[in-house]
Structure 1
Amino acid sequence: MGRHSLPDGYEVEGDRDRPGPRRRRRTVTIATLLVLAVATGTAVAAKGGLWSFSDSCEDSAVQLSLAASPDIAPAVRAIAEQARADEVRSDGRCLAVEVLTRESHTVTEALAAGGEPPRFQVWLPDSELWLERAKGTGEGIPLSPFGSVASSPVTLAMVPSASKKLGWPEKTYSWAELVAATLKSDRVRLGSADPARSATGLLALTSIGASSARQSGESDTRVAETAKVLAERMSDSDARVLETLARNTSDAEEGNPKRNRAVLISEQAAFTHNAEAAAGGKLDLFYPEDGTPLLDYPYTLVDENRLTTPESRAALRFMTLLNGRDAHDTFARYGFRTGNGNAQDSLVVSAGGRSPQPYAASAAEAPSAKQLQETLGMWTITVQSARLTTVVDASGSMATLVPGRGQSRMDVTKESLIQALGQFTPDDEIGLWEFATTLDGEKDYRRLMPTRRLGDPAAGGGTHGEKLTAAFAGLQPVPGGATGLYDTTLASYQAARSTFVKGKFNALVILTDGSNQDERGISRSALIAELKELSDPERPVPIIAIAVGPDADRDEVAEIARVTGGDGYEVSDPAEIQAVILQAIMAAGQNGRATQG
């Protein structure tokens, strides 16, 4: 804890054999919306008398707010209420812990967006992957994770009529084999929560890709195939995916096309579902033999240094309660395993698991941040149409020859853009601007083609895609033209924001071979301030800035792009542009905000 010593009672019975708390600094920011929501919840709790104690505690209680993932919030709330009833103390003062229910992806988006510090001191998301994504642009409040308080493996659940056809429980499968068997059946419909909003969905999809790579080296193909299927039956949250299941024996047996018979969910979600379901509606669980990833519920302090000493010590005191033997029993009653993934047979049976399904095998190694990024990027470009405004540098320096190619930077750029166009579908929307200095009167930029569907008919015949190809081919450097980068970036970003289309991957792609050379226009600091003001996590338009050639300043364009949730890239040869655009789209999917709607 740095400046704080441990509170009394830090080591409790049942904690001595557990691994020590892990700790990593995370940098994040939080939106005003959460502050208002937490403030409202705090007022309601206070008014409702939820923090009542005996006279010995009432005036001195340390009050904490903890934002928890919806699945674990009830269990944590039960532990907090018991602590109040038992008048558990930290340094002689009673604990009053208010537990707020918050979707992990919602908190992550607010943290990454920036704003005022939150009024909750502790965050308990369902997975550590949210901490990485909550860093956003890396200019926010630190997050300090202190280890897992519970866990639940990611599984594939089926209604009994479907699971029996796949040989459950005797037959075991790898992730790749299980999904392949599921997809081959016309009647076993597979559902999932959106991987951009669900750690369960993202971890499962990443596991499918890793398993496919080990089995046949076709990771991208299998992930794309699975993503397309899941996109057709995707739910907004883990709770809603359970609502898509066959409701009764008739639905399950007759194969109601509107109902799923298999879903990617956590063991805990299946436990809760089975506890409430009638006999015919209970689920069977497959545990892939190449390892199941865990939801790990990291106990995380939010901006540790802003906490008062009593708050900080009380937060650690509550963490010890969550890691204690009594809390383990409470978590188990709600369907959770311990933080290290140890399974109780009775819990697994209630959730729908049976031997010889390998439910007690060691958890799969957690995927790296890079693997998660690549999977989320693949999901983004597979299931969502793109809406890209392409802005190309037409300054005089684009006439410079590319070493060893006998072509100018502009010629190679045009070829690469035309090749990249072939990667998109008729439903994708792409437009084109060019820029130099004073290109259109006093303006440094000119719109050549509006951002429209490539398959839309164009005036005079043909499609928008065909006209756009011709426009790319017709780009020419402007003799004597300088690089009017800043004014162009602001104008094109304003246009892309004002024409945002919900449900598509909206982005602004800027290609330049130099730094800004227009001293009459907006400054870099003013541009960044304007972009920060315009950027909206509910209507995300990341800038993908590509510095082309040795004269371009990658650091400069990266600084500008990151304000919007995008990034800067550098290519020494314009022929690399096509690959970089696809790579950048995948990377922009990492934070999940580029896929809103």
Structure 2
Amino acid sequence: MARHRAAGEGTRRGMARWPFVIVGVVALFVLGYLSWTWLGGILDRRAAAQAAECRQGELVLRMAVTPSVADPLQSAAIAWNGQRPVIDDYCLRVEIQALDSPTVLTALTQGWDTGKLGQPPSAWLPESSLWVNQLRAQNKSLLGAPAESIGNSPVVLAVPEPAAQPLRSGQGFRWSEIPGLLAAPDGWKRFGMDDWGRFTMGVPDLVRNPASALAVQCALAWAGKKERGPVTMDMLTLPAVRTALNQVAKAKVAGVPPTTQDALVELSKNPDLATSPYDGVPVLEIDLFRRNLGVDGKPKPDKPLYGIPAAGPAPAADFPLLPLSGDWIKDAQVRAAQKFGDFLREPAQEKVLAQQAGVRVRSTNERPLTSPGITWIANDDLLAPADENTSQQLAASWASSADNGQTVTMLVDVSGSMHADGGQDKSRMDWLKAALRGQVDRSVSGSMGMWEFSRSLDGKKPYRQLVPTKGIEQQRNALRGAIEGLKPVSATQLYSSLAVVYRSAVENYEQGRTNRIVVLTDGPNDGGLNLQQLQAELDKVRNPNKKISISFITIGPDPERAPLTKIAQSTGGSVSVAADGAAIDPALAQLLSAG
């Protein structure tokens, strides 16, 4: 029997899918539009908020940095900039410029050459606070805030390999022994080398080489019975300290290059102690690390020098980050420099400083993987450095002790304005006389003379010679008497007086010494020769074989810098600003310590 399909039974048909596809596409479009609108709103609000935060726009924090730490600071700058820091409605950005510290100091105090150096910095990170001290002595107003250390590097003695083992044996090498070792005819006997003879050390200029200055400070601290420092002004007058300083100064090897780097290069060229001009050079550990790798701009040595760390308290450079002040610097940049300094002291950045540059930091003991000649021996027993005034006075005393001293003619302003308040209930003249007395008492060799100037001091002459420029040992009492007799009178006829003093200095030039005129004044020229006439008078007697620099220390907050700078630069001198009386002494010491 045939079977028939039931009603409604047959082939089943599915529902059409295209309506669902259309609905899905529309839904996705709507959701996409809503999501885009929502995300765009967030981005717009964020951009608006950021724009509101940076209403003042972008501000660059330019940092002049000593080359030894420029690379890790560049890495830190990239990381900090990535955080988009905002201060006082400015978006801050750090730019790092590697510049050696002598260049920065000279440019900041004597005029920044934008053509050669670019825009001036708003912060400075030299290798040592000794540079900050010199900046403060020349122009305190350039300091925007206290400097803060980001790490340190101890001073070691760099020697060729044959000398390393004897110095490490026995009691080891100590900075306290340096004066005696250098003075003895058989200094190497102390280290068991009886037939090696005299122990010699190349000591580049204390003013331009912090390693030299810190090493000498450490030796004097021991001589002053204060082995952990700091060396003080009072200690510089102690017989034992003066003897130690003279021993080091008189043992100075002739022909030592002016920089630590060049002294190391010369030492590397001749590692044979029998023929080498000197046996060792004090150097920052970080600089010897760079020298041995040849990454400091000089060719890599054939054989590395070895860094001998001292037993006992060790001197160390402190790498201070200094916010600067000037008419080109905003408060936000000062604060940014401080914030960036805090960032550099975070563990992540300290690790980079330690691994890349060998800076010793608080949070890690890591060191560079490749470091020939360096042992990285830990030593937390560091010398407390001298304060700014003492460090300047020490450098000045060194300058007067080494190379038979220098020839200095003082030209002192005794105009009526020297009666003005110099701070701490003392007049400017009181402070000036105290500074001059200190220099006379601390100088141990060389020549010094003194003139005063105002108006009608000697008949119609605005100047008067008080003490001729001769050996200081012969006329120390005469100089002291002249200083005590200084009294403010009337006007400031500087240019007429300076023309006569310069002529006298040329006529009495002392060969083989640094000859300089130092002018201490608190006001602009107000009579007699004008600037053009003075320049003509100087040109009449100028002698290329008798180089005499004219340097100025201006007393007071608002000096007339432009004409004085022109005179100073034409003679190889400088202009320093002592904003108050207390700044005269370190400014004078800094000037007399300069080569």
RMSD after superposition: 5.3
Is contact 1:203–1:293 with CA below 8 Å preserved after alignment? yes
Corresponding residue of 1:102: 99
Shift of 1:352: 2.2
Q: CA 1:129 to 1:347, structure 2 compared with 1: closer, same or farther past 3 Å? A: farther
Q: Which amino acid aligns with 1:366?
A: P
Corresponding residue of 2:401: 382
Alignment of 1:273-422 (within 5 A): 273-276=291-294, 281-303=303-325, 311=333, 315=337, 318-340=340-362, 343-344=365-366, 350-353=372-375, 359-383=378-402, 385-389=405-409
Corresponding residue of 2:180: 180
Q: Distance in 2 between matches of 1:318 and 1:179?
A: 41
Q: Distance in 2 between matches of 1:309 and 1:563?
A: 21
Corresponding residue of 1:155: 156
Is contact 2:396–2:592 with CA below 8 Å preserved after alignment? no
Q: Which amino acid aligns with 2:306?
A: D
Corresponding residue of 2:73: 76
Shift of 1:563: 7.7
Q: Distance in 2 between matches of 1:424 and 1:281?
A: 40
Q: CA 1:164 to 1:123, structure 2 compared with 1: closer, same or farther past 3 Å? A: same
Matched position secondary structure for 2:68: coil
Shift of 1:220: 1.5
Corresponding residue of 1:197: 208
Q: Which amino acid aligns with 2:246?
A: A
Unaligned runs of 5+ in 2: 1-53, 189-196, 228-237, 415-435, 530-553
Q: CA 1:383 to 1:362, structure 2 compared with 1: closer, same or farther past 3 Å? A: same
Corresponding residue of 2:243: 221
Greater Cα shift, 182-191 or 360-369: 182-191
> Based on CA coordinates, which of the two structures has the bigger radius of gyration?
2
Shift of 1:298: 1.6
Corresponding residue of 1:533: 563
TM-score by length of 2: 0.59
Shift of 1:353: 2.6
Shift of 1:83: 5.9
Matched position secondary structure for 2:379: coil
Q: Which amino acid aligns with 2:514?
A: K
Shift of 1:541: 7.5
Q: Which amino acid aligns with 1:181?
A: L
Q: Distance in 1 between matches of 2:319 and 2:208?
A: 16
Corresponding residue of 2:284: 266
Q: Distance in 2 between matches of 1:565 and 1:109?
A: 23
Corresponding residue of 1:124: 125
TM-superposition CA deviations, 1:198-228 (whole Å, max 9, x none): 2222111111111222289722111222123
Shift of 1:487: 4.7
Q: Distance in 2 between matches of 1:371 and 1:423?
A: 14
Q: Distance in 2 between matches of 1:196 and 1:172?
A: 28
Matched position secondary structure for 1:163: helix
Unaligned runs of 5+ in 1: 1-56, 395-415, 456-464, 476-481, 544-560, 569-583
TM-superposition CA deviations, 1:125-155 (whole Å, max 9, x none): 1122322331236562342246222321112
Q: Distance in 1 between matches of 2:587 and 2:291?
A: 35
Shift of 1:196: 0.8
Q: CA 1:310 to 1:378, structure 2 compared with 1: closer, same or farther past 3 Å? A: closer
Matched position secondary structure for 1:289: coil
TM-superposition CA deviations, 1:231-282 (whole Å, max 9, x none): 63543333223222132xxx32353244x33010011112122334989722
Alignment of 1:541-560 (within 5 A): none
Q: Distance in 2 between matches of 1:203 and 1:421?
A: 23
Is contact 2:260–2:281 with CA below 8 Å preserved after alignment? no
TM-score by length of 1: 0.59
Question: Within the alignment, does 1:208 sit opposite 2:205 as a pair?
Answer: no
Q: Distance in 1 between matches of 2:353 and 2:449?
A: 53
Q: CA 1:187 to 1:72, structure 2 compared with 1: closer, same or farther past 3 Å? A: farther
Matched position secondary structure for 2:249: helix
Shift of 1:292: 1.3
Shift of 1:124: 0.8
Corresponding residue of 1:90: 85
Corresponding residue of 1:8: none
Shift of 1:505: 5.8
